[in-house]
């Protein structure tokens, strides 16, 4: 009997949640690993739960596997099979259930369940992969103690890993061996993992602040051991940080990270056995960029932090996904901020915040405005894999951050403590978390407005915050009026006001911070106004100023779109003087955006002296971090610009942004040159905050200098591709050449490919760089097709597929959107090809056309045509179908 993967589209609803009828208190799993036929034997101790009817059936999920045997208390019994579920009736109150299944790991191209990569076995069970291994109630509220035996050929698979503690390792007959693992913590099946293969590890014993010692291991393929130091260091820092900031210690003797090159996502927090995409583990100065180093630090932190927020306390159901993801993203953001601040001072914290907000506003705001808009706690889905989104992750993190803003850092810690006190070892809901925060801080604005605050979980869409101010010099007051609106989104209309914390300061005409008095209370120079109604006014008293410039939403205190009719003069004032570095950056972004939008509308791009002078002043300010300058001088991205428009012509946006860069290159040439000359490296490569910031700014200067097209510069940059002593600088040089399309680009690319042919992650960059190159000559799509014919291209490898297909269809709007629709036809082809191999990855590529309705007519019609083509294909997975149906709805 083989269960078929393609069940008809079924909608799962939060409102229909019912608790499970049976618990599986413990399970013994035995795997006889074999690429073509892996036998999985499972022996479960099952118990009917209190409150369940005696007649309650036990429902097990199973997908794409062959059932060999099923026994209840040692006897074969009858069962019903219905699509991908198997139902058992007439069960005793407690019993032993034994099931044996057959898996074919070598045929598993979806990379969910048990699969092979580079000749080794790996599992991926979140969200619903365990059912592709054995029959099981595959839902996170069934938590069990796992005892696991792994058997495999010893020569081919010398390393056999699973969750928890290693109990024994024994040699068996026929060249096979066996490892037994026991995880002392009950967990849902989505946190189960195994690895079997020929791997090596870097290991280190650490003594935690608690006094306990732990064995830390990072497993990789034999040639990659020299790229594991940064991941190990990041793990050690994460362990120390969670103890220090949240009092949370590592609860296992052994903690393992395993790198795999074929992986659908970034990484996975399986208990004690995190499995990572190689992209987030492997780094050395010769192969990884500063951005890679950063990504590793934050993802290693993220997965480690899940050990408490995700594993010890997990989700009751998948609608609660943000309970663990939003909270854990918040925690990894705080981790990165604290580490940056420790080495780069407080301004480094702002740099990290700006980077996070940029991601949020590009990816999440557009999601919230499109066909996939959903609340942080979604209400329905067809394929849960489609809801690992920027909304659940990044907006979810903002919701947690707002709680911290409302209760303070110390109050937040109290709320976390209470959350663990109440729910450790359980599968719970977003409501449980919010309630803990409120109960631990009974006098806070959060507790006072909890019900309204929780609308952040239930209402989709990005709120707009409309602000206006009025100065009354006679009364010495400044009245700030805040009003909020929340747009309708698919299936949600008529929304209620949310609770919006608005961190605010006021500047006088000289740029000094005004003391803030509200209702007779001294609020210092920065305060958090809490908007809870549709509209409220806040009257600042004792204002002695002839002009007031409000600095609103400091640090981006809420995930909203701020509408305030700032004049250029006010923005220049904020850019020069605001005490809040985030808002200085934001002022520059607004100034740049308005100039870009004028150019998109067709006005001549005319960068005025005050604007250019302000940018120059920033570049010349010795007190500002290079990393901050780099962010400030980087114009808003094309996708973000597109979101500001009613109707979008992507190539036109690209041209406007490109024109702006060219003018900035010319007008600031002197400064770029000075930066290039002065930001020379100090000593050998180190990925620390300060060094990375200097490299980032120097490489931005280099990119602008290349824009000017001078042969000397292009020659110099080509030389850097040859002899840079680290990948950050080497790749920046290559990118500068590719971007301008200079004659030297071809030899530079060839040289680079020859040098790094054996480094898959570097080759991913090489592919991505070319696929995201501007379309100088109308031939870009042909070049993308040529990249797919390159012997090193494989659509089966998610990283490689992403490096070409996503880089073109998603990250290169100026080239992908073509009035002749050829880009869309290519997209349709690739979505269908990928869907037959890996639906999760295909469904992500499908989202490249999310915003098709916003496109200018010529593009729109062609895009709709391409969507229809995909919709009509007979064999679409439920993952991809859900995305396409929503887009066309």
Q: Which residues of the shown chain bind ligand PHE in the complex (CB under 6 A)?
A: 124, 126-127, 264-265, 267-269, 302-303, 325, 388
Q: Select from ligand PHE, Zn ion, none the partner in contact with residue 437, using the beta carbon and a kind-dependent cut-off of 5 to 8 Å.
A: none
C-beta closer to ligand PHE: residue 301 or 813? 301
CA angle 666, 670, 672 (to 5 degrees): 80
How much is the CA Rg of the chain, to the nearest whole Å?
28
C-beta closer to Zn ion: residue 325 or 578? 325
Name residues contacting Zn ion, limited to 301-330 (CB under 5 A).
325, 328
Q: Select from Zn ion, ligand PHE, none the partner in contact with residue 267, using the beta carbon and a kind-dependent cut-off of 5 to 8 Å.
A: ligand PHE
Name residues contacting Zn ion, limited to 215-244 (CB under 5 A).
none
As measured in angstroms, the least distance from the Cβ of 275 to ligand PHE is 8
Question: Could you tell me how many residues make up the chain?
Answer: 889
C-beta closer to ligand PHE: residue 266 or 515? 266
Per-residue tokens: 511: 């740029």
As measured in angstroms, the least distance from the Cβ of 267 to Zn ion is 8
* Cα atoms found within 13 Å of the Cα of residue 767, Cβ hemisphere only: 31
> Tokens 């909270």 identify what position?
327
Relative orientation angle of helices 581-600 and 568-577, to the nearest 10 degrees: 150
Q: Select from Zn ion, ligand PHE, none the partner in contact with residue 484, using the beta carbon and a kind-dependent cut-off of 5 to 8 Å.
A: none
As measured in angstroms, the least distance from the Cβ of 303 to ligand PHE is 6
The 328-357 contact track toward Zn ion, x by CB under 5 A, reads x-----------------------------
As measured in angstroms, the least distance from the Cβ of 391 to Zn ion is 14
Task: Using alpha carbons, select from 657, 618, 623 the residue that is nearest to residue 637.
Answer: 657
Decide if 54 is catalytic: no
- Distances, alpha carbon 494 to alpha carbons 459, 490, 535, 640, in Å: 10, 12, 16, 26
As measured in angstroms, the least distance from the Cβ of 838 to ligand PHE is 12
**Torsion 575-814-652-743 (CA) sign:** positive
C-beta closer to ligand PHE: residue 220 or 300? 300
As measured in angstroms, the least distance from the Cβ of 272 to ligand PHE is 15
For 379, other C-beta atoms within 10 Å of its C-beta total 15
CB distance 142 to 23 below 8 Å:
yes
C-beta closer to ligand PHE: residue 303 or 580? 303
C-beta closer to ligand PHE: residue 109 or 492? 109
Name residues contacting Zn ion, limited to 580-609 (CB under 5 A).
none
- Distances, alpha carbon 590 to alpha carbons 62, 82, 641, 664, in Å: 52, 56, 11, 16
# residues near Zn ion by CB under 5 A: 2
C-beta closer to ligand PHE: residue 63 or 303? 303
Q: Select from Zn ion, ligand PHE, none the partner in contact with residue 405, using the beta carbon and a kind-dependent cut-off of 5 to 8 Å.
A: none
Task: Using alpha carbons, select from 74, 76, 82, 75 the residue that is nearest to residue 57.
Answer: 82
As measured in angstroms, the least distance from the Cβ of 328 to Zn ion is 5
Contacts 24+ apart (CB under 8 A), 682-691: 684/285, 684/725, 685/285, 685/725, 685/726, 685/728, 687/230, 687/283, 687/285, 687/290, 687/293, 687/294, 688/343, 688/344, 689/340, 689/343, 689/344, 689/348, 689/351, 689/627, 690/343, 690/344, 690/625, 690/626
C-beta closer to ligand PHE: residue 72 or 843? 843
Per-residue tokens: 243: 């103890």
631 phi/psi in degrees, rounded to 5: -65, -40
Taking the C-alpha atoms of residue 722 and residue 733, their distance in angstroms, rounded to an integer, is 9
| Residue sitting closest to ligand PHE (CB) | 265
List 63, 98, 269, 303, catalytic entry? 303
Taking the C-alpha atoms of residue 780 and residue 359, their distance in angstroms, rounded to an integer, is 26
C-beta closer to ligand PHE: residue 191 or 252? 191
CB distance 503 to 526 below 8 Å:
yes
Taking the C-alpha atoms of residue 77 and residue 397, their distance in angstroms, rounded to an integer, is 47
As measured in angstroms, the least distance from the Cβ of 753 to Zn ion is 34
Task: Using alpha carbons, select from 796, 815, 818, 795 the residue that is nearest to residue 866.
Answer: 818
As measured in angstroms, the least distance from the Cβ of 325 to Zn ion is 5
Q: Select from Zn ion, ligand PHE, none the partner in contact with residue 638, using the beta carbon and a kind-dependent cut-off of 5 to 8 Å.
A: none
Q: Which residue ranges make up the site for Zn ion (CB under 5 A)? A: 325, 328
Residues involved in catalysis = 303
């Amino acid at each position: 009997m083989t269960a078929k993967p393609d069940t008809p589209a079924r909608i799962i609803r939060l409102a229909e949640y019912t608790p499970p009828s049976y618990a599986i208190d413990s399970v013994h799993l035995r795997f006889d690993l074999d690429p073509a036929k892996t036998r999985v034997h499972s022996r479960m101790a099952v118990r009917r739960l209190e409150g369940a009817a005696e007649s309650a059936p036990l429902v097990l999920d199973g997908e794409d596997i062959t059932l060999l045997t099923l026994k209840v208390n040692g006897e074969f019994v009858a069962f019903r099979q219905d699509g991908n579920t198997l139902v058992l009736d007439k069960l005793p109150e407690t019993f032993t259930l034994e099931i044996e299944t057959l898996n074919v790991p070598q045929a598993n191209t979806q990379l969910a369940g048990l699969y092979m990569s580079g000749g080794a076995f790996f599992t991926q069970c979140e969200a619903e992969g365990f059912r592709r291994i054995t029959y099981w109630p595959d839902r996170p509220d069934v938590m069990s103690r796992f005892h696991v035996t792994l058997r495999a050929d010893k020569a081919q698979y010398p390393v056999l890993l699973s969750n928890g503690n290693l109990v024994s390792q024994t040699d068996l007959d026929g060249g096979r061996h066996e490892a037994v693992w026991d995880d002392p913590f009950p967990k849902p099946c989505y946190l189960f993992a195994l690895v079997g293969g020929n791997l090596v590890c870097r290991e280190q014993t650490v003594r935690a602040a608690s006094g306990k010692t732990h064995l830390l291991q990072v497993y990789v393929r034999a040639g990659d051991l020299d790229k594991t130091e940064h991941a190990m260091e990041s793990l050690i820092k994460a362990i120390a940080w969670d103890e220090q900031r949240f009092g949370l210690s590592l609860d296992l003797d052994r903690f393992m990270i395993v790198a795999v090159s074929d992986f659908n996502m970034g990484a996975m927090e399986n208990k004690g056995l995190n499995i990572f995409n190689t992209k987030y583990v492997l780094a050395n100065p010769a192969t990884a960029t500063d951005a890679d180093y950063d990504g590793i630090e934050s993802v290693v932190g993220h997965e480690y932090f899940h050990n408490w927020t995700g594993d010890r306390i997990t989700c009751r159901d998948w609608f609660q996904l943000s309970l663990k993801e939003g909270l854990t993203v918040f925690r990894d953001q705080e981790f990165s901020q604290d580490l940056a601040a420790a080495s780069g001072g407080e301004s480094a914290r702002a740099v990290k915040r700006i980077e996070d907000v940029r991601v949020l506003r590009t990816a999440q705001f557009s999601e919230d405005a499109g066909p996939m808009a959903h609340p942080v706690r979604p209400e329905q889905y067809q394929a849960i894999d489609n809801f690992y989104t920027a909304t659940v992750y990044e907006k979810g993190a903002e919701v947690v951050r707002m709680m911290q803003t409302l209760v303070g850092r110390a109050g937040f810690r109290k709320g976390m403590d209470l959350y663990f006190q109440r729910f450790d070892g359980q599968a719970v809901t977003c409501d449980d978390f919010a309630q803990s925060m409120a109960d631990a801080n009974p006098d806070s604005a959060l507790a006072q407005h909890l019900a309204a605050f929780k609308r952040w979980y239930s209402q989709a869409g990005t709120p707009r915050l409309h602000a206006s101010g009025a100065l009354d010099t006679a009364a010495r007051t400044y009245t700030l009026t805040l009003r909020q609106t929340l747009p309708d989104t698919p299936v949600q209309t008529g929304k209620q006001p949310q609770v919006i914390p608005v961190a605010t300061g006021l500047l006088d005409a000289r740029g000094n911070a005004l003391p803030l008095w509200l209702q007779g209370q001294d609020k210092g120079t920065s305060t958090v106004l809490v908007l809870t109604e549709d509209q409220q006014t806040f009257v600042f008293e004792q204002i002695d100023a002839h002009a007031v410039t409000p600095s609103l939403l400091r640090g981006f205190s809420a995930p909203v779109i701020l509408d305030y009719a700032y004049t250029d003069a006010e923005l220049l004032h904020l850019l020069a003087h605001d005490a809040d570095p985030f808002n200085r950056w934001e002022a520059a972004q607004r100034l740049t955006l308005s100039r870009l939008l004028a150019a998109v509308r067709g006005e001549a791009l005319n960068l005025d002296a005050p604007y250019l002078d302000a940018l120059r002043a920033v570049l010349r300010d010795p007190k500002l971090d290079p990393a901050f300058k780099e962010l400030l001088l980087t114009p808003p991205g094309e996708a973000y610009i597109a979101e500001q428009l009613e109707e979008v012509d992507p190539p036109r946006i690209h041209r406007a942004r490109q024109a702006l860069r060219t003018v900035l290159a010319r007008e600031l040439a002197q400064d770029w040159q000075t930066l290039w000359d002065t930001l020379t490296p100090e000593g050998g490569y180190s990925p620390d905050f300060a060094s990375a910031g200097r490299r980032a700014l120097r490489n931005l200067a280099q990119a602008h200098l290349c824009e000017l097209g001078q042969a000397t510069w292009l020659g110099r940059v080509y030389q850097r591709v040859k002899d840079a002593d680290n990948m950050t600088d080497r790749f920046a040089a290559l990118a500068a050449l590719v971007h301008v399309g200079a004659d030297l680009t071809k030899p530079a690319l060839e040289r680079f490919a020859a040098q790094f042919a054996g480094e898959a992650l570097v080759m991913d960059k090489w592919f991505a760089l070319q696929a995201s190159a501007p379309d100088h000559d109308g031939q870009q799509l042909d070049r993308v097709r040529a990249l797919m014919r390159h012997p090193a291209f494989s659509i089966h490898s998610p990283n490689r597929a992403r490096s070409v297909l996503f880089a073109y269809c998603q990250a290169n709007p100026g080239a992908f959107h073509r009035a002749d629709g050829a880009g869309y036809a290519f997209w349709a082809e690739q979505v269908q090809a990928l869907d037959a191999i890996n639906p999760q990855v295909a469904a992500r590529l499908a989202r490249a056309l999310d915003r098709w309705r916003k496109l200018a007519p010529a593009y729109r019609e062609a895009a709709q045509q391409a969507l229809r083509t995909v919709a009509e294909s007979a064999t679409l997975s439920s993952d991809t179908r859900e995305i396409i149906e929503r887009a066309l709805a």
